[in-house]
Amino acid sequence: MEAFGLLLHGFAVLLTGKTLVLMMIGLVLGIFVGVLPGLGGPNGVAILLPLTFTMDPTSAIVMLSCIYWGALFGGAITSILFNIPGEAWSVATTFDGYPMAQQGRAAEALTAAFTSSFIGSLVAVLLITFLAPMISSFALRFGPPEFFAVYLLTFCSFVGLGREARHKTVISMSLGLLLAGIGMDTVSGQLRMTFGTAELLRGINFLVAVIGLFGISEILLTMEERLALRGHAAHISLRVVLSVWRDLPRYWVTLLRSSFIGCWLGITPGGAIAASFMGYNLAKRFAKEPESFGKGRIEGVFAPETAAHASGTSALLPMLALGIPGSGTAAILLGGLMVWGLNPGPLLFVEHKDFVWGLIASMYLGNVVGLVLVLTTVPVFASILRVPFAAVAPMIVVSCAIGAYAIQNAMFDIWLMLGFGVVGYVFKKIGIPLAPFTLALVLGNRAEDAFRLSMIGSGGDLKVFWSNGLVGSITTLALLLLFWPLIEKLLARAGRPRRARPAPL
């Protein structure tokens, strides 16, 4: 109950007119940067960071974290309306969100996304409030083998639970892994596949690839098929919102499962991206008719959004308690903390109570205010779809280019983005899924490093992946998921004769 008292103290710190105004400003700015495809949370927060130097730390972090929440809400908008994920973890939201928008159910999809984001963050904030000290010590148990096991789990769940033909998933994933190898190899300190060019030194930025693969290729496809965005007639009223909410209890299992996955992966640094994919895949696996996923099913929006936001929120915990940022945006918030003389670490919770609990309280308030704000503005955003394609398309391309450029201030990235646009177009035409490719591109490097560090640490012994209960169970689960289709068949075969036998008797 100590946590409860501290939380109330946090609210007391927060509930001043000035902080509330800053909160609103932050949220609106955040939604704005979130809506511009490619600009997204990290850039938005980075641009606005210096504005907060003259504020006291608590007001400053409240404003910045509200920009963060706003950008998270805003990111869902572009994923659903334009098939352009703003942050890595919004990729899975496009799978069903975009088809829904095309069927004229944009408002429903947006409401679902916002609501589930809210639920996901809420569960994670509750977790942070009451379990913070325990969880930060749990995160410390992750060494290289544990990290590798988590990445393996994500990859395996894709192959084992994916909806596409498995060989296509593997092809797509392998290509992603190949491209992830470009640049400096941390373990040996050598350059790989850079062909002597300075541009390839830093490797291929994940966001540049995503903007091209999803955004640009979508524009190409739309141009080819029909010169119109197919999501018009997006009528929104309070009734849509209420009807989505009325159906919410039906999906409680999905919501709960995704929240759990999100929180669990969120506190393992860098797990937020994996969480959204895994939330989606598991929802599909346990659904009654998995085939309907990817064709505009509302559960396909609930599952990844809840997981992504649960993990996005709980990712702030390792940042505060250990100084390890879980996402790009968290990394910039980390920089902000240091400017105000707050050093993330185990003592932050003890020495800067006002700040930490003010921040946690702002997560509650920011999310509630943010939800109201985005829901009331859904009609405005969904109406973007009614603007003629000829007018919207160039704007999307331009903002994609700005986004790609802004990530590293490199002209080369714009060419790369266009190149990925063509790749995405070809992949869609020949039916190779894009998601495993992007997943491999973003996690490939980390998985490789984790594997090689485990091998150095164990002297090349693979048994290290079963060396304790934690890593052992994750690895085993990963392998089970990988061979799930086979296991399922075997179980079915083993089950049938047994049931069949009593009949002749």
Partner 1 sequence: MKAACTAAALLVVSPAAAGWEPTKPVEIVVAAGAGGASDQMARMMQAAIQKNNLMKQPMVVSLKGGASGAEALMYMKSSEGDPNKVLIAYSLIYMLPLSAKIPFDWRELTPVSVIALDQFVLWDNAAGPKTVKEFVQAAKAASAPFKMGGTGSKREDHVLTVFLEQKTGAKFSYLPYKSGGEAATQLVGNHTESNVNNPSENLEVWRAGQVRPLCVFDKERISYTSKVTETQSWHDIPTCKEEGLDIQYLMLRAMFLPGKVTSEQQAFYVELFQKVTQTPEYKDYMEKQALKPVFLSGKDMLKFLEEDGQLNKSLMTEAGFVAK
Distance of alpha carbon 273 from alpha carbon 276, whole angstroms = 6
- 344 vs 424 by CB, closer to partner 1: 344
* Candidate residues 17, 195, 380, 409; the one interacting with partner 1 per rule CB under 8 A: 409
Strands (E) in 178-254, as ranges, are: 183-184, 191-192
Pick the piece of the chain touching partner 1 (CB under 8 A) from 2-10, 55-63, 68-76, 327-335.
Answer: 327-335
Q: Name the minimum Å distance from CB 108 to partner 1.
A: 38
Q: Is 331 in the site for partner 1 (CB under 8 A)?
A: yes
Match 């939330």 to its residue by tokens: 279
* Candidate residues 203, 296, 304, 444; the one interacting with partner 1 per rule CB under 8 A: 203
DSSP 420-440: HHHHHHHHHHHT--SHHHHHH
Q: Name the minimum Å distance from CB 322 to partner 1.
A: 5
Q: Is the dihedral of CA 437, 438, 440, 441 positive or negative?
A: positive
Pick the piece of the chain touching partner 1 (CB under 8 A) from 187-195, 213-221, 257-265, 277-285.
Answer: 187-195
* Candidate residues 176, 183, 266, 271; the one interacting with partner 1 per rule CB under 8 A: 183
- 190 vs 500 by CB, closer to partner 1: 190
Total residues in contact with partner 1, by rule CB under 8 A: 46
If residue 71 lies in a helix (H) or strand (E), which one and from where to where?
A: helix 57-82
203: three-class secondary structure by DSSP:
coil
Are 446 and 452 within 8 A, CB to CB? no
Enumerate residues 338-357 that contact partner 1 by CB under 8 A. 338-339, 343-348
Burial class, 134, CB count within 10 angstroms (exposed 0-12 / middle 13-18 / buried 19+) = exposed
x-marked contacts with partner 1 along 28-57 as a string, rule CB under 8 A: ------------------x---x--xx---
Pick the piece of the chain touching partner 1 (CB under 8 A) from 118-126, 328-336, 361-369, 470-478.
Answer: 328-336
* Candidate residues 325, 358, 424, 436; the one interacting with partner 1 per rule CB under 8 A: 325
b/e for 181-206, b at 16 or more Cβ within 10 A?
ebbebeeeeeeeeeeeeeebeebbbb
- 163 vs 353 by CB, closer to partner 1: 353
Are 81 and 113 within 8 A, CB to CB? no
Pick the piece of the chain touching partner 1 (CB under 8 A) from 105-113, 287-295, 451-459, 493-501.
Answer: 451-459
* Candidate residues 324, 363, 406, 434; the one interacting with partner 1 per rule CB under 8 A: 324
Distance of alpha carbon 36 from alpha carbon 260, whole angstroms = 30
Read off the DSSP letter of residue 223. Answer: H
x-marked contacts with partner 1 along 52-91 as a string, rule CB under 8 A: -xx-------------------------------------
Distance of alpha carbon 384 from alpha carbon 5, whole angstroms = 45
Enumerate residues 121-150 that contact partner 1 by CB under 8 A. 140-144
Output the CA angle 398-194-426, nearest 5 degrees.
50
Q: Name the minimum Å distance from CB 363 to partner 1.
A: 21
Across the strands, what pairs with 191?
A: 184
- Give the binding site for partner 1 (CB under 8 A): 46, 50, 53-54, 140-144, 183-191, 198, 201-203, 322-325, 331-332, 334-335, 338-339, 343-348, 408-409, 449, 453, 456-459
